Amino acid sequence: MDPSQVDVPPLKDLTIDNITDNVKLINSGCPDPRLKYLLERLVQHMHDFARETRLSHNEWMTAIQFLTSVGQICTDVRQEFILLSDILGLSLLVDSIDHPKPASSTEGTVLGPFHTHDAPPEPNGTQIAHDPAGEPCLVLCTVKDTEGKPIEGVKIDIWETDSSGKYDVQYEGREAPDQRAVMTSDAEGIFWFKAIVPVPYPIPNDGPVGKLLTLLKRHCYRPSHMHFMMEKEGFDHLITALYLRGDPYETSDAVFGVKESLLIDLGKVSAGQAKTYGVKEGGKLMSYDFVLVSEKESRELREKNAMYAMKDLGLRMKLYNGLPIPEVD
Amino acid sequence: MDPSQVDVPPLKDLTIDNITDNVKLINSGCPDPRLKYLLERLVQHMHDFARETRLSHNEWMTAIQFLTSVGQICTDVRQEFILLSDILGLSLLVDSIDHPKPASSTEGTVLGPFHTHDAPPEPNGTQIAHDPAGEPCLVLCTVKDTEGKPIEGVKIDIWETDSSGKYDVQYEGREAPDQRAVMTSDAEGIFWFKAIVPVPYPIPNDGPVGKLLTLLKRHCYRPSHMHFMMEKEGFDHLITALYLRGDPYETSDAVFGVKESLLIDLGKVSAGQAKTYGVKEGGKLMSYDFVLVSEKESRELREKNAMYAMKDLGLRMKLYNGLPIPEVD
């Protein structure tokens, strides 16, 4: 940016009391009204935080070093910033705001840091988990719309840990995805596959986020669950998971993901199912009927909720690409 | 942390409206009352930010990726998180809060991301800059207390760029510090050395912070300055800099560091000075009389300001190691 091209308000002698307005002023040249609003609120909250806590230079430096270490431990297959967002409840909050679900549809929950983009597309019936120590589990699900009609061709991303509570990416030398697949629902909205019974596991606790949890005297466990991410044009993207009822961490998930509507009891494979799906009779069965909301309904609900929340906060806003910005600049 | 040892409130079905209180609740087991307060405010502000902006999942993911890239570009000699804090005005704010200065003493300013810990101790008279293209500048300063008495033995860390506006650490293959020194004031409070006239320069703009500035339509320049950091037992740590009056960026410093009291006009080396200090007559002269405040006075002022600010915010607080925490837990 050539400085001669930039209209800068005179900034000098900034103090505890006037720096916030001045930083907002210099950022207000941002041509994107949404980014401008995000920065305006970010600066206000960061500065208010420092003023309310009388943040010391040592604490600031500790935070700088902490954030640096969070960034530096990230790799292609480890996302410590998502983990940090998860344990601070931000991830669940953002999902709740961005993907409001009408009562008739399946609720969302945290994405978590372990989704990858390399899971292979698989046909119904695939064995997605290859850990011989895992307890076999037949997964038999449907995807329907809010009127009960089956949805064909939904892309369903599935991921779970092995029997020791680790995702494939947590092993060194991972060569190919395991305990992962991308399924597609058939004409009846059915998708089914062979997996293993999910187990509780600690989120990665050998990094800065694990250290923070220890300082906060919080445990790092997640209750047993299997992740599902569903995508089809015309429907709201659903990031969710199914949780096993009765898990020791059912009410203390380190990342706040559990919802009553996503808790399930595992069933038993019947003789007929055993024959139909080629699995052992009496084995574990996970079944669930997912309900997707249309993109239109979700967008309308999101925008209605946004405007209602803005009004509730006393803010005069309008929507820009579906997201709030100040009505008057 | 063994989960059976941890007292966890039941958490399930968290929503936009109740997640904040629940995250604060689970963090409230933190045995350190200051960290507990910091986290309590951090969670409140982060969540309020998401609610006020109706932060979208895409925006959240963009922020995750941005913070990750900020962390990953950091090295032993590059601190992009400090730079981010600087351009958002947080660094100056924290310095103002933590190091309040009575009117009689020298004001502080931003540390910046380029201080290193390897500058060599040097005697008075040292040539600290070795860039032949730099304009020589004799720097002749004193350090006194608020009563005007010279302070002996102050450790003074000094750093500046070369004539092209780059710090030594910005060059690959840096083997030893340059344009840096640690001086010590003598019995008369004097320290002096030979440097070069500071020049304006762009903060590093090839990383994520530079990209953010471009999106905000902000320039990335700092006005000409030389950094000074002063330390002596019994005195408040001073992080400051001297700025050249009339610099094109005097009122638009990208990191908000300029203060009227830290602006100086360069003088000319007199015939007598040329002889005394072994420099060329008529050359550039930077002189300044620094005034350090005692640690006790600074602490008392900081604590008084903190309690006053807390009261102003309507918060009932007490001090814990000099920093506020809630009076009643």
State how beta strands B225-231 and B323-326 pair: unpaired
φ, ψ dihedrals at A54, nearest 5°: 50, 50
Is the distance from CB of B11 to CB of A110 less than 8 angstroms?
no
Task: State whether B249 and A3 contact (CB < 8 Å).
Answer: yes
Task: State whether B85 and A74 contact (CB < 8 Å).
Answer: no
In this prediction, residues A85-108 reach a mean pLDDT of 95
Distance CA B324, CA B319 (A): 4
In this prediction, residues A147-159 reach a mean pLDDT of 97
Task: State whether A2 and B30 contact (CB < 8 Å).
Answer: no
Predicted confidence (pLDDT) per residue in B253-282, tens digit: 999 999 999 999 999 999 999 999 999 999
Q: Which of B27, B74, B90 sits opposite A47 (nearest CB)?
A: B90
Q: How many CB atoms lie within 10 A of CB A64?
A: 20
Q: Is the minimum CB–CB distance between A253 and chain B shorter than 8 Å?
A: yes
Percent of chain B scoring above 70 in pLDDT: 97
Domain borders along chain B are 1-55, 80-292, 294-329
Predicted confidence (pLDDT) per residue in A296-316, tens digit: 999 999 999 999 999 999 999
Predicted confidence (pLDDT) per residue in A266-288, tens digit: 999 999 999 999 999 999 999 99
Q: Is the minimum CB–CB distance between A99 and chain B shorter than 8 Å?
A: yes
Is the distance from CB of B108 to CB of A14 less than 8 angstroms?
no
State how beta strands A238-244 and A263-264 pair: parallel
Q: Would you call B216 helix, strand, or coil by DSSP?
A: coil
Q: Which of A7, A13, A17 to mutate to test the interface with B (most CBs of B within 10 A)?
A: A13
Residue A89 structure tokens: 């409840």
Q: Which of B44, B56, B117 to mutate to test the interface with A (most CBs of A within 10 A)?
A: B56
Averaged confidence pLDDT in chain A: 94
Task: State whether A35 and B219 contact (CB < 8 Å).
Answer: no
Is the distance from CB of A182 to CB of A158 less than 8 angstroms?
yes
Q: Please identify among residues 121-180 of chain A the ones whose CB lies closer than 8 Å to any CB of chain B.
A: none
Q: Looking at CA atoms only, how far is residue B200 from chain A in angstroms? A: 12
| Residue contacts between A and B (CB atoms, under 8 Å) | 294
CATH architecture of A80-293: Sandwich (2.60)
Q: Which of A4, A12, A24, A62 to mutate to test the interface with B (most CBs of B within 10 A)?
A: A12
pLDDT for residue B1: 46
Decide yes or no: CATH 2.60.130.10 for domain B80-292.
yes
Distance CA B223, CA B245 (A): 9
Distance CA B122, CA B58 (A): 52
Residue B267 structure tokens: 């003088």
Query: What crossing angle do the helices spanning B90-98 and A19-27 adopt, rounded to 10°?
Result: 170
Task: State whether A11 and B35 contact (CB < 8 Å).
Answer: no
